[in-house]
Amino acid sequence: MRLTAKQNNTLRAMLSWLAGIIMFFPIFWLVLTSFKTELQAISVPPLLFFEPTLENFILVQERSDYFTYAINSVATSFGATLLALLVGIPASYAMAFWPSRFTKDILLWMLSTKMLPAVGVLMPIYLLVQKAGLLDTRTALIIIFAMINLPIIIWMLFSYFKEVPREILESARMDGASTLDIITLLLIPLTRGGILSTALLSIVLCWNEAFWSINLTASDAGTLTALVASYSSPEGLFWAKLSAVSTLACAPIVVFGWFCQKQLVQGLTFGAVK
Amino acid sequence: MKLFRIFSLLLITLTAGSLSAGELTIATVNNGHMIEMQKLTGKFEETHPGITVNWVTLEEGVLRQRVTTDITTKGGQFDVMTIGMYEAPIWGSRGWLEELTFDDSYDVDDILPAMRGGLSHDGKLYAAPFYGESSMIMYRKDLVDAAGMTIPDNPTWGHIQDVAAAITNKDEGIYGICLRGKPGWGDNAAFITTMANSFGARWFDENWMPQLDSAAWRHAIDFYLTLMNNYGPPGSSANSFNEILALFNEGKCGMWIDATIAASFISDPRQSKVADHVAFAQAPVAVTHRGANWLWAWALAVPAGTKQAEDAKKFIQWATSKEYIELVAQTNGWASVPTGTRQSTYDNPNFQSAAIFAEAELTAILSANPSNSTQDPTPYTGVQFAAIPEFQAIGIAVGQQFSAALAGDITAEEALANSQEAADREMSKAGYY
Amino acid sequence: MNRRTIAFLQAPSIVLLLLWMIVPLSMTIYFSTIRFNLLYPERTGFIGLSNYEFFITDPGFISAVINTLVLVLSILVITVVVGLALAVLVNFQFHGRGIVRVLLISPFFIMPTVNALLWKNMFMNPVYGLFSVVSTFLGLEPIDWLANFPLGSIVIMLSWQWIPFAFLIFMTSLQSQDPEPLEAAALDGANAWQKFRYMTVPHLGRAIAVVIMIQTIFHLSIFAEIFVTTGGGPGFNSTNMAFLIFSQALLQFDAGVASAGGVFAIILANIVAIFLIRVVGKTLVV
């Protein structure tokens, strides 16, 4: 049996929806659990229909000031991403359009700075941050997050910049545009989708970073991962409360991602330009 | 360079943190009693004007890593630390903690001797117990009765095995006994150590030689494996306190030997389906009662070198006092007070009637003695651990072997041989022999 | 553009990363050769390669190396294949496309510890997990995931988290594929597979290389998921390099052995990187 194009597309749309639902299901389950009582959360068989309760969310807000942590998370992940983009965009631009014979090695070396596992360098970094008087500050987290993500940002930007036809930039240069103009007025708008998805990934990685944000903070600069850590695995049942706090911790970034997703895929349409 | 200026401005605004002095920063575990303490902070601040309290609450493993890093590097981020019975004597002997002295109103002699001893080094108290626990057996009386069996107050392991056999009903999803199996020195290794103690085993001999290849350990592990393979729930090699609590509260476990604190969870109808059917007895014994049940306390300590030592001690005095226990009782009822620290709590008739587990818990705590917890003499203190810095690494290595044996990957013999080797490596590296 | 400008544009990144690498790395190498246990501050001094010897003779060392490689490779294969399939699948106009994209990306937003606790307790627990309930309902014996397939379970958790990453990058990259040659190829009688294999995959070459390299770096040091779920067990079945460093060194606060472990991790990572560059290096045309 041969499918018509229309049938084919319907089937494909259904498959896409199915894939989306399967991937999202664990998150749905997490959110669902956050409206259960602790006893309902461990019930066998698991409950799909129940009387929802807001008890967990009320408890979380009563116990800890969600917004302090949320603000720290926003400040550190956006701050670090901005910082990394600021130094990363010019570097990727130069490497993508004016590569030298070292460029490939530099790129690989940059990625290799991430090879030291965090647990192995806890002591050196902790001592450095302590000596600099930056324990429990957002500054320390911003710098570290920026350094952790810089190689990834450069790699991704590099690959997106590579897709921009060189002629466009060349002709702008012929018209006398400065390097800064080319980057800000031409390259960034042209690769908006790529830069945004790079930024989004970097923000998400910072947002979810748990090792440094827990080990280097105390009461002032704690991020949402520290908040989640204060709800995970206590003595006693905790799945409903943990689900509630995780829902709260992930919600801003999911909403932000939702907000961005249209932008992500726009602006990368050089096919038409060529 | 307008763009650059905007970026830098943004960065500066984002990084501007708050710095304030004259505050207490307290690191604590996210267990229920500590959360309650956090909620009652306002009461402390009312009676102690000029002191404000900031909390850092983390799960146990993360907190331990966090405070150890801080104290060993003199990070000075915390004024009060919540530490366990494992850390207190080690850190105290290193001079990292301030000695705690209290005025008469605190009644330091009211603190249970086992707790006080476990938190001291050379007779000096370095951490004040906030709540303490031992281990005991918790069981479903309805199931045991239905099988025509009883569990005496001081059961033997042999009897427990018989009961487990009688009440297991896998078709209905009821497993006779649930025990810890997840690797970790505070997880499966803690429980199995108490079992091994009672089978006559010890971690080290008087010369610090590891004893995991002894016959007593072998008996204990064989018994543990037989019990779990026949009557335990599937997935046991990843189960620790919380996983088993969920199973028990869902009615899947007949018996469970674990921290006495569990008693207050399984007897709470808001979170347990079997709250009406639970009963308690002392942890089972094999050849000796010594070390058959563990002893643990979460305690508050002041790191040496904090600038706020005086305020920090005031807080500790408040949080570990009789008055604090009464405050919790007024707020949440006597069933919710932190237990295991003071004789006066157990003497209180209101507590006795509110907490059905009170008597069993006190008996368990009083019978534990960290400095004499094995049949043969040992050079270490601690019941379910040895209070030496090397124990954490040894405990996890050994715990992994036990869980591999439980999962059926290796035999008990292999697990113990590997454990012996792992312990030997650590001990010889640390220069014990 | 003159060479000075080119160098100037790259300088901040290179200098910063150089500092970020050299300072901790040299401290790590220094620590790895001295007696440096935080719990024994009085024991100091140079001890040569003892820390390395101690780390490499750990009974779990070989397992840790193998598990690290197995984890990296299997997660890579799964995420790239599934991510690619999904990106191609949703790369057309249909009702609710935006929502489906968000659904597919969302798992990446979940924190690793939450991810691990979620899978361990809500799905994989053989008594009350959703998988066991479903298999009991279907009349099958529930699988004890974490005991029998500890590594596989961790691969599932990680793949769920990282498929969205691959998907996102492939999806963005697919947007820039010129539709005209594809249509021309279709008119010439090319089927969907041929178009995919000979036009889409080459177009995505660089994106695939980026996904592989970045993910490799992340998966070489998986830690949180193992710590929360299996504790490295049973036995050493799910102990990888990062977990070994943690259990051998950090639990004991022996910064010397931890540093030696860190150096081994770098060596292992470099071997993997060299291997990968051979495989994907061609597509990384500069």
Chain B residues whose beta carbon lies within 8 Å of the beta carbon of residue A38: 270-271
pLDDT mean over B331-358: 91
Best of C38, C89, C91, C106 to disrupt the A interface (most A CBs within 10 Å) is C106
- What SS3 string covers B265-319? HHCCCCCCCCHHHEEEEECCECCCCCCCCCEEEEEEECECCCCCHHHHHHHHHHH
Report the alpha-carbon distance of residue C15 to residue A35 in Å, rounded: 49
Report the alpha-carbon distance of residue B119 to residue B86 in Å, rounded: 8
Q: Give strand pairing partners of B52.
A: B23
Query: What is chain A's percent helix, strand, coil content, to nearest 5?
Result: 75, 0, 25
Cα torsion B251, B253, B255, B259: sign = negative
Chain A residues whose beta carbon lies within 8 Å of the beta carbon of residue C117: 232-233, 239, 242
C240 touches chain B (CB under 8 A): no
- Examine the pLDDT at B2 and tell me if it is beyond 80: no
Contact A239 C101 (CB under 8 A): no
Report the alpha-carbon distance of residue B251 to residue B273 in Å, rounded: 7
Contact B396 C231 (CB under 8 A): yes
pLDDT of residue B208: 95
Q: Please tell me which of the candidates A42, A78, A214 has its beta carbon nearest to residue B62.
A: A214
Helix residue ranges, H only, B168-275: 188-198, 215-231, 241-249, 262-266
Whether B334 and B386 share a structural domain = no
Chain B residue closest in CA terms to A133: B75
Whether B156 and B139 share a structural domain = yes
Question: B79 in helix, strand or coil?
Answer: coil
Say if CB C136 and CB B234 are below 8 A apart.
no
Q: In this predicted structure, which of A235-239, C271-275, C279-283 has the lowest mean pLDDT?
A: C279-283
Say if CB B293 and CB B194 are below 8 A apart.
yes
Whether B284 and B299 share a structural domain = no
Closest Cα partner for B259 from B116, B357, B119, B176?
Answer: B357
Instruction: Check whether the bond before C59 is cis (ω within 30° of 0).
Output: no
Instruction: Check whether the bond before A45 is cis (ω within 30° of 0).
Output: yes
B16 confidence band (pLDDT: 50, 70, 90): very low
Chain B residue closest in CA terms to C249: B393
Choose one of B358, B391, B412: the last residue of a domain: B358
Of the two residues A61 and B324, the one the predictor is more confident about is: B324
Chain B residues whose beta carbon lies within 8 Å of the beta carbon of residue A142: 11, 14-15
Contact C235 B407 (CB under 8 A): yes
Contact C127 B389 (CB under 8 A): no
B135 confidence band (pLDDT: 50, 70, 90): very high
Contact B245 A226 (CB under 8 A): no
C99 confidence band (pLDDT: 50, 70, 90): confident
pLDDT of residue C155: 95
pLDDT tens readout for residues A26-43: 999 999 999 998 888 888
DSSP state of A113: T
- Provide the chain C residues 39-98 that lie in CB contact (below 8 A) with chain A: 86, 89-90, 92, 94-98
- Examine the pLDDT at B96 and tell me if it is beyond 60: yes
Mean residue pLDDT of chain A comes to 86
Chain B residues whose beta carbon lies within 8 Å of the beta carbon of residue A65: none
Percent of chain A at pLDDT exceeding 90: 34
Is B151 a member of any domain?
yes
pLDDT of residue A236: 81
Whether B308 and B404 share a structural domain = no
Whether B258 and B354 share a structural domain = no
Say if CB B352 and CB B330 are below 8 A apart.
no
Whether B322 and B223 share a structural domain = no
Give chain A's radius of gyration (CA, Å).
23
pLDDT of residue C7: 87
Count of alpha carbons within 13 angstroms of residue C198, beta-carbon side: 10
- Examine the pLDDT at B11 and tell me if it is beyond 60: no
Q: Give strand pairing partners of B57.
A: B28
The H-or-E segment that residue A26 falls in is: helix A5-34
Residue C203: is it exposed, middle or buried by C-beta count within 10 angstroms (0-12/13-18/19+)? middle
Whether B222 and B140 share a structural domain = yes
pLDDT of residue A264: 65
pLDDT of residue A270: 44
Whether B220 and B276 share a structural domain = yes
CATH architecture of A65-230: Orthogonal Bundle (1.10)
- Report the gap between the CA of B376 and the closest CA in chain A (Å): 33
- Examine the pLDDT at B19 and tell me if it is beyond 70: no
Report the alpha-carbon distance of residue A117 to residue A114 in Å, rounded: 8
Is B262 a member of any domain?
yes
Q: Check which CATH number belongs to the domain holding B342 and give it.
A: 3.40.190.10
- Examine the pLDDT at C178 and tell me if it is beyond 80: no
Contact C13 A159 (CB under 8 A): no
Q: Which subunits count as partners of chain C given 3+ CB pairs below 8 Å?
A: A, B
Q: Please tell me which of the candidates C147, C236, C248 has its beta carbon nearest to residue B393.
A: C248
Q: Which residues contact C152 (CB under 8 A, 6 or more apart)?
A: C145
Chain B residues whose beta carbon lies within 8 Å of the beta carbon of residue A230: 30, 57-59
For chain A, which residues make up each domain, given as ranges? 65-230
Best of A130, A219, A225 to disrupt the B interface (most B CBs within 10 Å) is A219
Whether B194 and B156 share a structural domain = yes
pLDDT of residue B251: 93
Question: C59 in helix, strand or coil?
Answer: coil
Q: Which domain holds residue B279?
A: 135-294+371-429
Is B14 a member of any domain?
no
Question: A125 in helix, strand or coil?
Answer: helix
- Provide the chain C residues 242-261 that lie in CB contact (below 8 A) with chain A: 242, 245-246, 249-250, 255, 258-259, 261
Is B2 a member of any domain?
no
pLDDT of residue C205: 84
Tokens representing B127? 């951490």
- Examine the pLDDT at B6 and tell me if it is beyond 90: no
Chain B residue closest in CA terms to A78: B14
Say if CB A111 and CB C214 are below 8 A apart.
yes
- Examine the pLDDT at A273 and tell me if it is beyond 50: no
B374 touches chain C (CB under 8 A): no
Is B6 a member of any domain?
no
Say if CB A23 and CB A211 are below 8 A apart.
no
Chain A residue closest in CA terms to B14: A75
Say if CB C2 and CB C219 are below 8 A apart.
no
Place of tokens 């770098």: C266
pLDDT tens readout for residues B231-263: 999 889 889 998 899 999 999 999 999 999 999
Place of tokens 């022999």: B433
pLDDT of residue C1: 65
| Structural domains in chain C plus CATH codes | 26-283 (1.10.3720.10)
B17 confidence band (pLDDT: 50, 70, 90): very low
Best of C31, C57, C122, C127 to disrupt the B interface (most B CBs within 10 Å) is C127
Report the alpha-carbon distance of residue B241 to residue B257 in Å, rounded: 10
pLDDT tens readout for residues B26-54: 999 999 899 999 999 999 999 999 899 99
- Examine the pLDDT at A1 and tell me if it is beyond 60: no
Contact B400 C40 (CB under 8 A): no
The dihedral over CA atoms of A177, A180, A184, A187, expressed in degrees to the nearest 10, equals 70
Is B244 a member of any domain?
yes
State how many domains chain B has. 2
Whether B255 and B147 share a structural domain = yes
Best of B7, B59, B253 to disrupt the A interface (most A CBs within 10 Å) is B59
Is B161 a member of any domain?
yes
B398 confidence band (pLDDT: 50, 70, 90): very high
Mean residue pLDDT of chain B comes to 90
